[in-house]
Amino acid sequence: MNYLSSDFLASKGIVITKKLKDWLTRASFVARTRGGPGETERYAKWALCVLEDQLKTQTVEQVEWKTVPTVMSAKALAREPRMLSGSDDSAKAVQETHVGHRADLYKECTGRAPPELRHFLDQAFDLYDRDVAKGKRHYEQVSFMEMLNIARNLQKKELTDKTQAQLRGQQTALLSSGPGVAAPTVTRAAETSSATCGDKRQRAEPSAALSSGKVSSAGEQTDNGVHSKRTKVETLLVTASECASFFLELITTDDAKTERVCRTFVAKSRDLERRYSRYEPTEEDIRPLQVLEKSFDYIVEKSREKEKQDTRSNALKYLSDQLKGMRQDLRVQNIVNDFTVMIYELHARICLEANDIGEFNQCQASLKGFYEHRSVDKSRCHMAEFFVYRVVYLSLSKQYDSLSTELIEYTNTLSLGQSAAMKEFLPTPERMQHVLQLIVALDNGDALSAVQLLQLFKRELQFLVQIYLPRMRVYWLYSILCGVRGNMSLRFIMSNLGFLPTAASRGGDTGVKAEQFWMDGNKEAAHKTFHELFSTLKVPLPTAFSFDTEVEVGHSTGVSIDASAALRQVEEYIQYLGTRKDAQI
């Protein structure tokens, strides 16, 4: 058993957080490097003891897992973790933890479950209590939606059992009445009744019982003629049942999908503020369009006040959380109009400035479909701007198939006259030429050209590039060091990695009025990023080096590093990244 897995610790009642999961990943990697199975198990038990020592006085959230060691000393004593010895103290702590979560979860479920589901909800908690007592599950990692789904499945099972009983009764009457009964008709009607339960596996059980001969018939006779007739009837029943199940499954699946997409949602909330909820919202949680329009003005004004009183980053975080909640309200009500597009476009720009690439991707993917909607006025949208963001994002994230599709569609729209109504809202060929030049410059490590091209676009594109700059600079530096022997000037490295400023362009869309343009945004950010890069790569900087001096002097000061030694460090770091699934660079 893997003692350093999240599932094992979760079964012991330990809440798995992101930082703890990262620590377990590092510990598991070290465990795989041990000499043999015995050493691996010894290390795993040592790591569990370290974890238990940390949790004696602190909770999982309070522990600084980055500072907890994962390297076991050669003189470390062999210890037996308490969670493996099955001590009563550990079990008691886990049990007490479960009780509070169960009470809160049960209260949430009973408040949201319809009346007809309450009985099955109690059954679901009884079943879950048994698994918790056995250590297979725990209440800290289950949501109320999962418990409601268990209750719904129990409700479906009861309906299925009743339908199966009716089916057996009809089949018994059929076998008792003789050969003159139309078997397919009876079976199809019964199968239609069974299909309403929505469980394909359980619908197939009556047919399987028939084919195996496990049917309670009133007249089990030894006469060969009667037995032959019964066999023929059973064969017809099985064939008709299988066909009905196949086609009814198709119909049921389509209807379910249509119901989810087209369901009406009557919003009742009047709150001006609401954050995104990962649970399925109710009508009391969702706000109608009129309230959302008032809410937008309110949260924008509040974010401006927060920026004046606090910091811009906190103001952006507040605005991003509120816009994500508004997106959820619009989505569950299937509202697609100009207001929807405005919300998604604004949130996408904020996500770029806040370095939230995941939320930006969700916004830009949704916007592509919104732009083609009939209820959206394309003249009020920013299709060309977000087409540029999408193309550059696909290139930086190495989604080359999607990038090729976007460029092919763009070319067909312009040259073949397809979607003439969309043509005027796309970037001009000259604009797209600059976009492709920027993509090529970033891919080839031509930081000087990339800096010049970035000034032709809005600041949001610079924010997008900055998200991927740490990863790109590692490979740019690797390419530079591969072709050099001996010492290399640090100013030369700074210039080719985009750490030095250039003269600001006056003709771009960035709105920058400063004398200089920095790829990192400003001098302070460039200074911080430069030192973080070399610290991450473990390449020591000379004591005589000064970032400010290199920038202000305007020429090389003669401070350099050993290119061969730096190349080895970069290679080791790239190799290390290849062993990590959670590497964000």
Give the highest mean pLDDT range of 74-83, 295-304, 508-517. 295-304
Question: pLDDT digit string (tens) for 44-67?
Answer: 888 888 888 888 878 888 888 888
Q: End-to-end alpha-carbon separation of the chain, Å?
A: 32
| Other C-beta atoms lying within 10 Å of the C-beta of residue 342 | 14
Question: pLDDT digit string (tens) for 174-184?
Answer: 666 555 444 44
Question: Which residue has tokens 């020592």?
Answer: 53
**Buried-exposed string 485-505: b where 16+ CB fall within 10 A, e elsewhere:** eeebebbebbbbbbbbbbeeb
Specify whether 485 is located in the same domain as 584: yes
Question: What is the average pLDDT across 354-378?
Answer: 91
Question: What is the average pLDDT across 18-25?
Answer: 86
- Report the SS3 class of residue 503: strand
In whole angstroms, what is the distance from residue 126 CA to residue 150 CA?
A: 11
Question: pLDDT digit string (tens) for 313-349?
Answer: 999 999 999 999 999 999 999 899 999 999 999 999 9
pLDDT over threshold 60, residue 88: no
List of long-range contacts for 263-271, beta carbons under 8 Å, 24+ apart: 265/332, 265/333, 265/334, 267/291, 267/329, 267/333, 271/295
Instruction: Kindly tell me the burial class for residue 10, based on how many C-beta atoms sit within 10 Å of its own C-beta (0-12, 13-18, 19 or more).
Output: middle
Reported as a pLDDT band with limits 50, 70 and 90, residue 484 is: confident
Question: pLDDT digit string (tens) for 384-414?
Answer: 999 999 999 999 999 999 999 999 888 888 8
Residue 242 structure tokens: 């299988």
Question: What is the average pLDDT across 559-577?
Answer: 89
| Other C-beta atoms lying within 10 Å of the C-beta of residue 524 | 10
Specify whether 499 is located in the same domain as 566: yes
Q: What was the pLDDT predicted at 183?
A: 44
Compare 446 and 583 and report the one with higher pLDDT.
446
Half-sphere exposure of 339 (CA within 13 A, CB side): 18
pTM over 0.95: no
Lowest pLDDT segment from 10-14, 37-41, 143-147, 240-244: 240-244
Specify whether 466 is located in the same domain as 582: yes
Give the highest mean pLDDT range of 49-53, 554-558, 567-571. 567-571
Q: What was the pLDDT predicted at 100?
A: 65
- The DSSP bridge partners found for residue 502 are 517
pLDDT over threshold 80, residue 213: no
Domain's final residue, options 262, 291, 319:
262
Specify whether 239 is located in the same domain as 176: yes
Q: What was the pLDDT predicted at 420?
A: 58
Reported as a pLDDT band with limits 50, 70 and 90, residue 144 is: confident
In a domain, 214, yes or no: yes
In whole angstroms, what is the distance from residue 54 CA to residue 60 CA?
A: 8
Q: What was the pLDDT predicted at 112?
A: 80
Compare 98 and 285 and report the one with higher pLDDT.
285
Task: Please report, rounded to a whole number, the percentage of residues in the chain having pLDDT higher than 90.
Answer: 30
Specify whether 227 is located in the same domain as 187: yes
Compare 314 and 144 and report the one with higher pLDDT.
314
Compare 253 and 236 and report the one with higher pLDDT.
236
What is the overall mean pLDDT for the chain?
Answer: 78
Q: What was the pLDDT predicted at 300?
A: 94
In a domain, 268, yes or no: no
Specify whether 104 is located in the same domain as 60: no
Lowest pLDDT segment from 12-21, 80-89, 536-545: 80-89
pLDDT over threshold 60, residue 96: no
Question: What is the average pLDDT across 515-532?
Answer: 89
In a domain, 290, yes or no: no
Specify whether 463 is located in the same domain as 579: yes
Range of the domain at 518: 458-585
The candidate with the shortest Cα–Cα distance to 386, out of 429, 337, 418, 352, is 352
In a domain, 45, yes or no: yes
Question: What is the average pLDDT across 485-491?
Answer: 89
In whole angstroms, what is the distance from residue 457 CA to residue 281 CA?
A: 39
Lowest pLDDT segment from 96-110, 118-132, 163-177: 96-110
In a domain, 223, yes or no: yes
Q: What was the pLDDT predicted at 388?
A: 95
Question: What is the average pLDDT across 545-563?
Answer: 85
pLDDT over threshold 50, residue 291: yes
In a domain, 19, yes or no: yes
Specify whether 24 is located in the same domain as 113: no
* Cβ atoms of residues 376 and 370 within 8 Å: yes
Residue 304 structure tokens: 């401006």
pLDDT over threshold 90, residue 351: yes
Specify whether 104 is located in the same domain as 126: yes
pLDDT over threshold 60, residue 539: yes
Domain's final residue, options 237, 262, 287:
262
Instruction: Kindly tell me the burial class for residue 265, based on how many C-beta atoms sit within 10 Å of its own C-beta (0-12, 13-18, 19 or more).
Output: middle
Specify whether 160 is located in the same domain as 258: yes
Task: Please report, rounded to a whole number, the percentage of residues in the chain having pLDDT higher than 70.
Answer: 77
Element of type H or E holding 301: helix 289-309
Q: What was the pLDDT predicted at 46?
A: 86
For β-strands 487-489 and 502-503, DSSP reports them as unpaired
Q: How many domains does the chain have?
A: 4
Reported as a pLDDT band with limits 50, 70 and 90, residue 303 is: very high
pLDDT over threshold 50, residue 32: yes
pLDDT over threshold 60, residue 561: yes
Compare 306 and 6 and report the one with higher pLDDT.
306
Three-state secondary structure string covering 26-74: HHHHHHHCCCCHHHHHHHHHHHHHHHHHHCCCCCCCCCCCCCCCCCCCC
Q: What was the pLDDT predicted at 392?
A: 96
Compare 13 and 254 and report the one with higher pLDDT.
13
Domain's final residue, options 262, 285, 301:
262
Specify whether 99 is located in the same domain as 64: no
Residue 403 structure tokens: 């990038």
In a domain, 284, yes or no: no
Q: What was the pLDDT predicted at 107?
A: 83
Specify whether 81 is located in the same domain as 103: no
Compare 108 and 357 and report the one with higher pLDDT.
357
Q: What was the pLDDT predicted at 114?
A: 84
In a domain, 163, yes or no: yes
